[in-house]
Amino acid sequence: MPKTWGDQLPLQHDAPRTTSFRKPLAYILVLLGAAWFLSRNYVSEVITRPCRSHAPLSSEPKCPQVDPLIPSKSTKELDDMWDYLNSESFFNKSIERLSGAVKIPTQSYDDMGDVGIDPRWDIFHSLGNYLEESFPGVFKTLDVEKVNTHGLLLTWKGSDVGLKPTVLMAHQDVVPVPDATINQWTHPPFSGYWDGKFIWGRGASDCKNQLMGILEAVEALVHAGFEPKRTLVLSFGFDEEISGHRGAGELSKTLIKKYGHRGAAVIVDEGAANLKSWGANWAVPGVGEKGYVDVEVTVRMPGGHSSIPPAHNGIGVAAELISLIEANPWSPSLSDSNPYLSMLYCGAEHAPSFPSKLKHLLHHRPQHAHKDALALEAAKAGLDIRYLFTTSQAVDLISGGVKTNALPERTTFTINNRINVGSSVADILSHVARLFTPTAQKYNLTLHAFNNATETPNSLILRASDTALEPAPTTPTGPGTPFSILSGTTRALYGEDLLVAPGIMTGNTDTRYYWGLSEHIFRYRMGWDLEQEGLGNIHTVDEKIEGKAHRDAARWVYGFVRNMDEADL
């Protein structure tokens, strides 16, 4: 039996066990990373509340690393199953299962109608049947509940009803593949093609890999005769890519009703990936997410024949407003509650190539400053890093006019805002209103800013989306919390050279609906895709995942479930 789950050390059946910091013991770890969202330089915090230091840092470690954690309670069957999870036989079976899931095109579209009415939902029946056929042990042993037809809630009841459950999440839907891009794919997007290294296709990396990895691990535990002490819940939504309100939104209501407010011990969903940065290897499970709000802007101006145009029409004014947005980006800012600040502490403490200027600024942050010098310096690493601590604003939709010889009477565009930790929806709305007020006055337009006013001629109307979301609460990461279990499990699989630092997601996962179920929420892609950077081309052409990274998802879950089952939380 290996020394760590990764491959090295024999399992110690009688090893003493502590709450959070334990010696390696043999098991598994795995590949959600978003993030949508997280890059080669990304790392975050490992302290419960990142402390802002205005004086030189103390000698006390700010980024302690837990020991690799392997379950202390084992049986011959569980050990044999671990050997199987490391075998070529399981590897091939795992590839086959994911490939089959990718072949089922469970695309979710922004304009989907209600479940049971819009026929585009029907393909999810095919995936549900495939999961049942692929994992008979899971569907026979766990309680199966279908929520809003396609939401899957699988519950493995534990023997100790006093322990809060472990909740593992994934989603069944995938981003649609535009017809115009199909010919750009190396292998067809729903082929599930296996080339000996990668599995190709939409959903291979976002996030049928996590869906299948979780089910493979639980299937293995069932066949190994594992009897959970702590209840295990699998919660699989089906519309995450279109905000999740039909799937995760309904599943979360069911779970909160069943277990109560903060009734779960831990929740793990898709999210950030392992990566290399500052000369070190990192796992960066997301312990926070940026907020979200869309602002729809409508310009109402007189129409008329285009042969007699005014100096400025509605489209021209809209263009001026868009230019204002792009000319006034938000400045980087590292709030004390932003996990990336602790990521910097981790880098300063452990990474051999951590920049000296960043370390100096980290140790000597001015208490009051118009600009955040540390954030500005950290942002130089690139946009993928900058937007971990900067509000982003992007105009993604625009329309105006109906005919080439008629002046537009109504022009609209939408600004998508991802809100930095430490800011708020109200800050965004106030910023947009202030920015656009001079332009409204310039063109004698009545400004209706977020007041639900009826559209009138010669007006500028601002509306906020009803899907607005504040930045997520930050998950605690101190000793004795589930973060220690996650960290120890991860280091057991990948080795002690891998450092763990909590991260932040620039995008939002289905966990937005689960804030009330637990304060211990992690967005983490368990498998380490060694052959490529990032998250495997999610949401674009040639999405794929390395076969070994997918296998590691099952190995990680196999260990994490057992470690949580033994944890004194």
Cis check for the bond before 207: say yes or no (omega within 30 of 0): yes
Q: Who's near 376: CB < 8 A, 6+ residues apart?
A: 331, 332
Options 67, 240, 250, 270, the catalytic residue: 240
Q: What is the DSSP letter of 502?
A: -
Strand partners, 154: 144, 234
Q: Which H helix or E strand runs over 411? A: strand 410-419
Contact in structure between 305 and 471 (CB atoms under 8 Å): no
CA angle 466, 467, 469 (to 5 degrees): 120
DSSP state, 541? T
CA distance 96 to 90: 10
- Please indicate whether residue 173 is annotated as part of the active site: yes
DSSP-derived 3-state class of residue 275: strand
Return the exposure string of 123-138: e unless at least 16 CB atoms fall within 10 Å of the residue's CB, then b. bbeebbeebeebbeeb
**Minimal CA–CA distance to 269: which of 486, 547, 4, 565?**
486
Return the CA Rg of the chain.
25
Which position has the token pair 């400025």? 312
Residue 216 DSSP label: H
Tokens in use for 361?
């600024």
d(Cα 463, Cα 451) in Å, to the nearest integer? 8
C-alpha 194/C-alpha 182 separation (Å) is 18
Q: Tell me the CA end-to-end span of the chain in Å, nearest whole number.
A: 28
Backbone angles phi and psi of 427, in degrees to 5? -60, -40
Place of tokens 């029946």: 125
Please indicate whether residue 45 is annotated as part of the active site: no
520 belongs to an annotated ligand binding site: no
Please say whether the beta carbons of 173 and 241 come within 8 A.
Answer: yes
- 109, 242 Cβ separation under 8 angstroms: yes
Coil, helix or strand for 82?
A: helix
Instruction: Please work out, in degrees rounded to the nearest 5, the angle formed at the alpha carbon of residue 4 by the alpha carbons of 519 and 49.
Output: 25
Pairing of strands 286-289, 503-505: parallel
Question: Is residue 504 a contact partner of residue 339, using CB atoms and an 8 Å limit?
Answer: yes
Amino acid in the structure at residue 493: L
269 assigned to a ligand binding site: yes
Quick count: other Cβ atoms within 10 Å of Cβ 51?
14
Selecting among 173, 239, 270, 546, the annotated active-site residue is 173
Give CA torsion, residues 12, 273, 469, 204, to 10 deg: -110
Is 539 annotated among the ligand-binding residues?
yes
Catalytic center residues: 173, 240
Binding-site annotation, residues for Zn(2+)? 171, 206, 241, 269, 539
Binding-site annotation, residues? 171, 206, 241, 269, 539
